[in-house]
Amino acid sequence: MKLPFLKKKEEIGETGLEPSLINLEDIIAPSSVEARQNFLRLGERFSKSFFIFSYPRYLSTGWLSPVINLQYPMDISFHIHPVRSETVLKKLRKKITEVQAEMMERQEKGLIRDPILETAYQDIETLRDSLQTARERIFKFGLYITVYANAQKELRKIETVLRSIFEARLIYIRPALFRQKEGFVSCSPYGLDKLAVHTTMNTAPLSSTFPFISSDLSANEGILYGINMHNNSLVLFDRFTLENANMVTFGKAGSGKSYAVKLEILRYLMQGVDTIIIDPENEYKFLSDAVGGSYFKISLTSPDHINPFDLPIPREDEKPANVLKSNVINLVGLLRIMLGGLTPREDAIIDQALTETYAAKDITPESDPLNWQKNIPLLSDFEAVLESMKGTESLVERVRKFTKGSYADFFNQPSNISMENKFVVFGIRDMEEELRPIAMFIILRYIWNIVRSSLKKRILVVDEAWWIMQSEDGASFLYGICKRARKYWLGVSTITQDVSDFMKSSYGQPIITNSSLQLLMKQSPAIVNDVQKTFNLTDQEKYLLLESSVGEGVFFAGQKHIAIKITASYTEDQIITTSPEQVLAIKKAKKIIS
C-alpha cells in the first residue's frame, strides 16, 4: 500500500516532475535501526529480546501472569509447534529401554537405587500411556520476550525484574545474544519463529502458560458470598480460615453494601455463628425480628442501659490486674470524648480518680474477680470521688452533665441488657447526633468486655464506622479491637460510605490493613481515585467500581481479588432487603395476612 504525497502546483515548479511518493513504511518506521549484540536501537528507543531455555518439573497455573502485569512495555510471543505422536512414541520406547537397562545394571552390581532414574522411568511410562490413549499431545514450545526502554540502564533494570520473577519459579531466561534482530522479528506479529529455541512439552504444562486467568475463591466449606463475574463460579469460603476474620466494606449510598452484609450475617447465623451489630439507622430491626434476635434501642429515653464502668470477667489466662488496668485506660479515652478533651494534668487526675472509684467498691487487683460484678460503680460514684479531690472543680462540672438531668438516664444507670441471644443489635438512630460517637464507644466497650469473657465464634458489625472514627480515642479503640479480634475468635466488619472520611483518621489505613476481607462497591467519581490508591486497584477495577450495578463490586480475600455479584434467594431477599418500596410492600402484605 502506498500513499501519494501531492505537492501544490507552484511547488512542482517548471520542471514538470511527477509528485513524490512516500511509502507507508517511511511513515511508521523509526528514523534508524541499529543492531548490537545484546540490544536493538530503534530511533531513540531501545529493545532487548529474551528466550526461556529452562523450566522446572512442575509449573503452576498462571505462572506468566506476574510478567504480563508488569508496568513495562513489552511483546510476548508463543510459538507452538505440534509433534507427531508416532514419532514421539518411538523415541520414548527407546528412552524407556535405556533407563530400564541402566536400572537393571545398577541392581546387578548391588548399587543402591537411584531416585532420579526411577522418577524418569515413571514419568516416561505415564507420558507413553497418555499419548497412546490420545489424552496428551507433544509440542515444541518457544516463549520469547522483547522489552522496550528509553535507555540501556532501564533495559538492565527490566532484565533484573524479569529474572527475579522467573527464577523464583525455577524458570530461566537468556538474552538473544547476536540474534536480537531474530528475537525482535519472532516477537512481532508475523508468526515467524526466527529464534527457534524450543522446549518439548506435553499438553498439561503447556496449558499452564496461558496468562489470562481469573482468581477463584471457592472452598469446600464456608458460605456463599456471591458469583464471580469473571467466570461465573461461586465465591464460597469461610472468613474464619484466613489470617484474621476482619472485613471492611465501602460503597456509596444505594450501592448494596448493607444488603451484602445482611446476607453474609444471615448465612453465618445458619452455621451457628453469633452476630453483634451496631446499627446507626435501625436498618437491622426487620432482620432481627425475622431471626428472633435481641434489638436494643439506645437513646436518652430508652429503657435499655449500659454502664460505662462495666468490667469483663478475667479469663483463666488473664491476670486481674491487667484487665483492670486496661479497663481504666479505655475509660480515660471515653471520658476524654465525653468531656471535650483533657489537659495532661486532668488526664492524670481522671486516671487516679477511676482507680479510686473501683477501689471504693472493693475492685482491686488483689480482690476476688468473681465478686467484681456485684459492686460495679456508676458515673455518679466517679463524680463523688472527683469532688473529694483538690483542683477538680472544672472536671466535676463537666461530669455532672452526664450524672444529672436528661443525660443521666443513659449514662448513669447499671446495665440491664443481656447478650445471650445469638443475634444482638444495638440501634442508635434515636440517640442525639452529638452523643452518637460517645454511645458507639460505650457500646463497643461493653461488647468487647463480653467477647473477652468467653471464647466463641462471633461477628461484630460496625455500620457507619466513620461516626466513631471522628475522635482519636474512638478510632484507636476500634483499631485495637480489629487488631486483637483474632485471639478471641471474633471477626470485625466495618462499613462506611466514604473512604475519604474513613482515611482522615490515622487509624483508617491500619484498620484496612488488619482486615483480610475487603468489599468495594459502587463509588462516586469524586473519590474513586482515592479508593484506587488506597486499595492498589487496576484501571479496569477502578472503572468497574464507577459503572457497576447495585450489588456488584470488587471483593478481596487475602491476596486474591475478583469482581463479584451479590445474589440472594427470594426468601433471603424478603428478609434482608433495604429498599423502601419492598419494605413497605412486605409490611402491607403482613397486615393483609393478619
Q: Give 371-418 pLDDT, tens digit per residue.
A: 888 889 999 999 999 998 888 888 988 898 888 877 888 888 899 888
Strand partners, 237: 223
**Mean pLDDT within 75-91:** 88
As its CATH architecture, domain 242-297+421-594 has 3-Layer(aba) Sandwich (3.40)
349-369 confidence digits (pLDDT tens): 999 999 999 999 888 888 888
**Mean pLDDT within 136-148:** 92
Q: Residue 145: what pLDDT?
A: 95
Every domain of the chain and the residues it spans: 47-207, 242-297+421-594, 307-414
Q: Return the SS3 of 525.
A: coil
**Furthest-apart CA pair in the chain: how many Å?**
116
**Mean pLDDT within 82-89:** 85
Q: How far is CA 531 from CA 39, 252, 332, 547, 575, in A?
A: 40, 12, 34, 14, 31
Sign for the pseudo-dihedral over CA of 261, 265, 268, 270 = negative
Given a cut of 50, whether residue 10 has pLDDT beyond it is: no
Q: Which helix (H) or strand (E) holds 181?
A: helix 180-187
Given a cut of 60, whether residue 17 has pLDDT beyond it is: no
**Dist CA 181 CA 32 (whole Å):** 14
CATH (residue range 307-414) = 1.10.8
Average pLDDT of the chain to the nearest whole number: 85
Q: Residue 561: what pLDDT?
A: 81
Which pLDDT band, with edges at 50, 70 and 90, does 589 fall under?
low
Taking residue 10's Cβ as centre, other Cβ atoms within 10 Å add up to 6
